[in-house]
Amino acid sequence: MYFRPIRLFKSLVIFTCVVIVTYEIYRLLLHPTHKLSLVRHDDTPSILSSKDGFEYISDNLEPFYIPLPNFSDDEARNWFYSSSYYKVNSKKCPHGSCEEKGVFFNDTKEHLSVNIFLVKNGLYLNDDCGYNYGDNATKRTFKIPDETTVIYDKAILYPVPDGWSFQHFLDGIGPKLSHSRSYLQKYPDAKVIILEGVRFDRSVKEIWSMLGVEESERIIHYSSSMKIGARLLINPCRTPGIHPRLWQDARKMYWSISGLPNPISQSKRNNLIYIQRTATNAMNGARLILNEEPFIRVLRDYSTKYSLNYVQYDHSKDKDHIRSRIELFYNAKIIIGVHSGALSNMNFAQSGTTIIEIMPYKSDSSSLPMTCSMFRPENIQACAGYILYTQARLLNQSYWILPIVVNAEGNLNVDTSRVQKLFDQIE
């Protein structure tokens, strides 16, 4: 047997290469250098270091459907099928049919891609907080203090339009909080940036407080003249405005901070809640039910027949802590009301809750909600008038639409026979 040094040398080289490759694969699996899967709920991922001080956490969610509304009669069905919303979005239905599953949403940037950016010496300059947040803006930094008007050690961005109001906290900030709340807890000294507004709704202050964010200590009301720098800027803005997971996770967050369990069954829900709109509580005026007495009688009779607790809810008279309201709507079986921001309380209601939206519209703009009457009916574009329908479906609730024409003052008489017919169809 002869000693062959060349063969031994080759064997050593091969063995060394195998060891190196194996180590690199192991290292990459344990310590990825670019993206991390988004960690849900309260498990904050570690911040990775990088030479330029910029890291991001990204997750691609699953495509989803938004089912069409439920219709109690042909009048409701025909109105919706003539709407600009349907004309725009029906093109997204598989095989051109929306009845089976609904509208399909699968645009990566607009609907699926969830991101959190972590920037050392980050600089915020009044950028729009949404899925279109620009690449350059996410990486913007300051080099000297003169480039800023204020520098914080840590700051978290939630400057969504009108996020100081109850309605737009829920539909704008809530979905972003659902995947970034853990940073509020990990950095209890971090400032929270929201847009300055004409007011700061008490209910919004109370939700922030339950999340451990006191206005006097952490909230910064941002104005466009400010140039905010932070030694660590945490930016969850590039998040889809709509996705079932984000909205349902936000709902679980509201329940959790209110001490309510994630429900296993829906058997204990027993509230029928009428969200009352009056001349004194309507901030935008109009959309008042003129024949409210017979309308309420239908609701009370139904509640009595099915042993439900009838609740007439007027938000302007609600002086309790938001925690009580969350519990009230958590126990809702049916929520009914005219299109208004107060219907946003459905965000606290369970999956399977019946939502009935009375949709006011003008006869000369018959395919548009009254709130979209600034558009022309023939213009094929969606408007914000359908946001409550979208929310209900994202929350896996049973949504019914009842279009009613308004008079010259923008108020309406509800056809109680149509309401009764709708209630007869509720399962």
CB 209 within 8 A of CB 357: no
- Tokens at residue 402, please? 């009842």
> Which positions ≥6 away from 145 have C-beta within 8 Å?
151, 229
C-alpha 56/C-alpha 209 separation (Å) is 27
End-to-end CA distance of the chain: 88
Residues of the chain with pLDDT under 50: 1-3, 21, 23-49
How far, in Å, CA of 65 to CA of 159, rounded? 28
Residues 6+ apart with CB under 8 A from 317: 281
Q: What is the pLDDT of residue 348?
A: 98
**CA-CA distance, 122 to 180, in Å (whole number)?**
17
Return the pLDDT at 48.
43
Mean pLDDT across the chain: 87
In angstroms, the CA 390 to CA 5 distance is 74
pLDDT of 94 reads 84
Write down the pLDDT at residue 166: 96
Residue 234, pLDDT score:
98
What's the rounded Cα separation, in Å, for the pair 240 and 108?
9
The CA-CA-CA angle for residues 203, 209, 213, to 5°, reads 130
CB atoms within 10 A of CB 212: 13
pLDDT score for 14: 63
- pLDDT score of 38: 37
What would the pLDDT profile of 324-345 be if each residue is shown by its tens digit? 999 999 999 999 999 999 999 9
Q: What is the pLDDT of residue 364?
A: 78
The answer to whether the CB of 178 falls within 8 A of the CB of 249 is yes
pLDDT score for 385: 85
Residue among 375, 378, 377, 364 nearest 410 (CA): 364
Domains annotated on the chain, with CATH: 113-239 (no CATH), 246-424 (3.40.50)
The vertex-15 CA angle with 9 and 21, nearest 5°, equals: 135
Q: Where are the alpha helices (DSSP H) in 42-95?
A: 74-81, 84-89
* Two structure tokens written together for 97: 């049919």
pLDDT of 363: 84
- Secondary structure (3-state) at 143: coil
Q: What's the burial of 381, exposed, middle or buried (CB within 10 Å: 0-12/13-18/19+)? A: exposed
pLDDT tens-digit series, residues 152-181:
999 999 999 999 999 999 999 999 999 999
